[in-house]
Amino acid sequence: MNIKKITNFIFELSQLKRQVHSGFQLTGVKYPDTLAEHALRAAQIGYLLAVMEGDASPEKVASILMIHDNAEARIGDQHKVAARYYSNKEAEEKAFAEQLSGLGKMIEQTWHEYFYEFENRNTKEGIIARDADWLETAFQAKEYNDLGYNVINWIKNVEKAIETKSAKMIIKEMKKTNFAEWWYGLKKMTYKKLDK
Protein backbone atom coordinates (compact mmCIF):
# COMPACT_ATOMS: atom_id res chain seq x y z
CA MET A 1 0.00 0.00 0.00
CA ASN A 2 1.46 3.31 -1.13
CA ILE A 3 0.26 6.31 0.94
CA LYS A 4 1.33 8.82 -1.73
CA LYS A 5 -0.59 6.85 -4.37
CA ILE A 6 -3.67 6.69 -2.14
CA THR A 7 -3.46 10.44 -1.49
CA ASN A 8 -3.21 11.23 -5.19
CA PHE A 9 -6.03 8.78 -5.97
CA ILE A 10 -8.32 10.59 -3.54
CA PHE A 11 -7.47 13.89 -5.25
CA GLU A 12 -8.12 12.25 -8.63
CA LEU A 13 -11.61 11.23 -7.54
CA SER A 14 -12.53 14.93 -7.45
CA GLN A 15 -12.48 14.80 -11.26
CA LEU A 16 -15.73 12.84 -11.05
CA LYS A 17 -17.32 15.98 -9.59
CA ARG A 18 -16.19 17.90 -12.68
CA GLN A 19 -17.08 15.37 -15.38
CA VAL A 20 -20.70 15.54 -16.55
CA HIS A 21 -22.94 12.98 -18.18
CA SER A 22 -22.31 14.15 -21.71
CA GLY A 23 -25.29 12.50 -23.40
CA PHE A 24 -27.81 14.85 -21.82
CA GLN A 25 -25.97 17.79 -23.39
CA LEU A 26 -27.12 16.52 -26.81
CA THR A 27 -30.68 17.40 -25.79
CA GLY A 28 -29.82 20.90 -24.62
CA VAL A 29 -29.40 20.28 -20.89
CA LYS A 30 -26.94 23.03 -20.07
CA TYR A 31 -25.70 21.72 -16.71
CA PRO A 32 -26.15 17.93 -16.64
CA ASP A 33 -25.46 15.87 -13.55
CA THR A 34 -21.87 14.92 -12.75
CA LEU A 35 -20.44 11.43 -12.63
CA ALA A 36 -20.02 11.78 -8.86
CA GLU A 37 -23.67 12.71 -8.43
CA HIS A 38 -24.65 9.80 -10.63
CA ALA A 39 -22.48 7.30 -8.71
CA LEU A 40 -23.84 8.38 -5.33
CA ARG A 41 -27.50 8.00 -6.27
CA ALA A 42 -26.80 4.79 -8.23
CA ALA A 43 -25.11 3.28 -5.16
CA GLN A 44 -28.13 4.08 -3.03
CA ILE A 45 -30.54 2.74 -5.67
CA GLY A 46 -28.38 -0.40 -5.87
CA TYR A 47 -28.59 -0.89 -2.12
CA LEU A 48 -32.38 -0.58 -2.27
CA LEU A 49 -32.64 -2.99 -5.21
CA ALA A 50 -30.45 -5.58 -3.49
CA VAL A 51 -32.66 -5.45 -0.39
CA MET A 52 -35.78 -5.72 -2.55
CA GLU A 53 -34.37 -8.65 -4.52
CA GLY A 54 -33.46 -10.37 -1.26
CA ASP A 55 -30.68 -12.63 -2.52
CA ALA A 56 -27.72 -10.27 -2.91
CA SER A 57 -25.41 -8.25 -0.69
CA PRO A 58 -26.61 -4.61 -0.57
CA GLU A 59 -23.19 -3.49 0.66
CA LYS A 60 -21.41 -5.19 -2.24
CA VAL A 61 -23.82 -3.72 -4.80
CA ALA A 62 -23.34 -0.24 -3.35
CA SER A 63 -19.57 -0.73 -3.37
CA ILE A 64 -19.61 -1.83 -7.01
CA LEU A 65 -21.54 1.30 -7.92
CA MET A 66 -19.28 3.61 -5.94
CA ILE A 67 -16.33 2.61 -8.15
CA HIS A 68 -18.00 1.75 -11.47
CA ASP A 69 -17.21 5.07 -13.18
CA ASN A 70 -13.82 5.80 -11.56
CA ALA A 71 -11.92 5.36 -14.84
CA GLU A 72 -13.97 8.19 -16.34
CA ALA A 73 -12.01 10.57 -14.12
CA ARG A 74 -9.24 9.98 -16.68
CA ILE A 75 -11.04 9.23 -19.94
CA GLY A 76 -14.28 11.22 -19.55
CA ASP A 77 -17.86 10.15 -20.19
CA GLN A 78 -18.68 8.73 -23.61
CA HIS A 79 -22.27 9.23 -24.77
CA LYS A 80 -24.04 6.70 -26.99
CA VAL A 81 -23.67 8.71 -30.19
CA ALA A 82 -19.87 8.67 -29.78
CA ALA A 83 -20.05 4.97 -28.89
CA ARG A 84 -21.55 4.38 -32.33
CA TYR A 85 -18.14 5.24 -33.83
CA TYR A 86 -15.67 3.91 -31.29
CA SER A 87 -15.49 1.96 -28.06
CA ASN A 88 -13.53 3.18 -25.08
CA LYS A 89 -13.81 -0.16 -23.25
CA GLU A 90 -10.09 -0.90 -23.54
CA ALA A 91 -9.15 2.62 -22.43
CA GLU A 92 -11.51 2.37 -19.46
CA GLU A 93 -10.04 -0.98 -18.38
CA LYS A 94 -6.50 0.37 -18.71
CA ALA A 95 -7.28 3.58 -16.80
CA PHE A 96 -9.03 1.64 -14.03
CA ALA A 97 -6.12 -0.81 -13.68
CA GLU A 98 -3.60 2.06 -13.50
CA GLN A 99 -5.74 3.85 -10.90
CA LEU A 100 -5.72 0.75 -8.69
CA SER A 101 -2.00 0.11 -8.94
CA GLY A 102 -0.40 0.94 -5.60
CA LEU A 103 -3.63 1.11 -3.59
CA GLY A 104 -2.90 -2.24 -1.97
CA LYS A 105 -3.42 -5.84 -3.01
CA MET A 106 -6.79 -6.26 -1.29
CA ILE A 107 -8.27 -3.10 -2.84
CA GLU A 108 -6.80 -3.86 -6.24
CA GLN A 109 -8.12 -7.43 -6.29
CA THR A 110 -11.56 -6.64 -4.86
CA TRP A 111 -12.20 -3.62 -7.04
CA HIS A 112 -11.07 -5.48 -10.18
CA GLU A 113 -13.58 -8.20 -9.33
CA TYR A 114 -16.29 -5.60 -8.78
CA PHE A 115 -15.46 -3.87 -12.06
CA TYR A 116 -15.79 -7.11 -14.03
CA GLU A 117 -18.94 -8.21 -12.20
CA PHE A 118 -20.50 -4.90 -13.22
CA GLU A 119 -19.26 -5.09 -16.82
CA ASN A 120 -20.11 -8.77 -17.35
CA ARG A 121 -23.20 -9.02 -15.13
CA ASN A 122 -22.02 -12.50 -14.15
CA THR A 123 -23.19 -12.34 -10.51
CA LYS A 124 -26.45 -11.32 -8.89
CA GLU A 125 -24.69 -8.24 -7.49
CA GLY A 126 -23.34 -7.35 -10.93
CA ILE A 127 -26.82 -7.61 -12.47
CA ILE A 128 -28.37 -5.49 -9.73
CA ALA A 129 -25.56 -2.93 -9.93
CA ARG A 130 -26.01 -2.53 -13.68
CA ASP A 131 -29.78 -2.19 -13.24
CA ALA A 132 -29.20 0.48 -10.59
CA ASP A 133 -26.79 2.33 -12.88
CA TRP A 134 -29.33 2.36 -15.69
CA LEU A 135 -32.20 3.12 -13.34
CA GLU A 136 -30.38 6.15 -11.96
CA THR A 137 -29.94 7.44 -15.50
CA ALA A 138 -33.67 6.91 -16.12
CA PHE A 139 -34.50 8.88 -12.98
CA GLN A 140 -32.24 11.70 -14.11
CA ALA A 141 -33.89 11.62 -17.52
CA LYS A 142 -37.33 11.75 -15.89
CA GLU A 143 -36.31 14.87 -13.99
CA TYR A 144 -35.08 16.51 -17.19
CA ASN A 145 -38.19 15.33 -19.06
CA ASP A 146 -40.47 16.87 -16.43
CA LEU A 147 -38.53 20.12 -16.88
CA GLY A 148 -39.23 20.09 -20.63
CA TYR A 149 -36.19 18.41 -22.18
CA ASN A 150 -36.80 15.74 -24.80
CA VAL A 151 -35.10 12.78 -23.11
CA ILE A 152 -37.88 10.18 -23.05
CA ASN A 153 -35.60 7.87 -25.10
CA TRP A 154 -33.35 7.35 -22.07
CA ILE A 155 -36.28 6.04 -20.05
CA LYS A 156 -37.51 3.77 -22.86
CA ASN A 157 -34.02 2.32 -23.41
CA VAL A 158 -33.51 1.66 -19.69
CA GLU A 159 -36.93 0.04 -19.47
CA LYS A 160 -35.90 -2.43 -22.19
CA ALA A 161 -32.50 -3.14 -20.60
CA ILE A 162 -33.21 -3.72 -16.90
CA GLU A 163 -33.37 -7.31 -15.68
CA THR A 164 -34.51 -7.39 -12.07
CA LYS A 165 -38.12 -7.53 -10.94
CA SER A 166 -37.49 -4.72 -8.45
CA ALA A 167 -36.04 -2.35 -11.05
CA LYS A 168 -39.00 -3.05 -13.34
CA MET A 169 -41.47 -2.20 -10.56
CA ILE A 170 -39.62 1.00 -9.72
CA ILE A 171 -39.38 2.27 -13.30
CA LYS A 172 -43.08 1.60 -13.81
CA GLU A 173 -43.91 3.79 -10.80
CA MET A 174 -41.29 6.40 -11.74
CA LYS A 175 -42.86 6.96 -15.16
CA LYS A 176 -46.13 8.13 -13.60
CA THR A 177 -44.57 10.22 -10.83
CA ASN A 178 -43.55 13.87 -11.17
CA PHE A 179 -39.94 14.32 -10.08
CA ALA A 180 -40.89 17.04 -7.57
CA GLU A 181 -43.73 15.09 -5.98
CA TRP A 182 -41.53 13.91 -3.10
CA TRP A 183 -41.76 17.27 -1.36
CA TYR A 184 -45.50 17.85 -1.84
CA GLY A 185 -47.03 18.28 1.60
CA LEU A 186 -43.67 18.90 3.28
CA LYS A 187 -43.59 22.62 2.65
CA LYS A 188 -44.43 24.56 5.81
CA MET A 189 -45.68 28.10 5.48
CA THR A 190 -44.13 30.35 8.10
CA TYR A 191 -46.33 33.41 7.79
CA LYS A 192 -48.76 34.49 10.46
CA LYS A 193 -52.09 36.06 9.53
CA LEU A 194 -52.54 39.66 10.64
CA ASP A 195 -55.24 40.30 13.22
CA LYS A 196 -58.00 42.49 11.81
**What's the CATH superfamily of 3-135?**
Hypothetical protein af1432 (1.10.3210.10)
DSSP sequence for 97-120: HHHHTTS-HHHHHHHHHHHHHHHH
pTM for the predicted model, two decimal places = 0.93
Reply yes or no on whether the pLDDT at 188 is more than 90: no
- Residue 34 has phi, psi (to 5 degrees) of -90, 165
Condensed to tens digits (0 to 9), the pLDDT of residues 83-111 reads 889 888 999 999 999 999 999 999 999 99
Condensed to tens digits (0 to 9), the pLDDT of residues 24-35 reads 999 999 999 999
pLDDT confidence of residue 80 = 86
Domain ranges across the chain: 3-135
The band of 117, judged by pLDDT with boundaries at 50, 70 and 90, is very high
pLDDT confidence of residue 195 = 82
Reply yes or no on whether the pLDDT at 136 is more than 90: yes
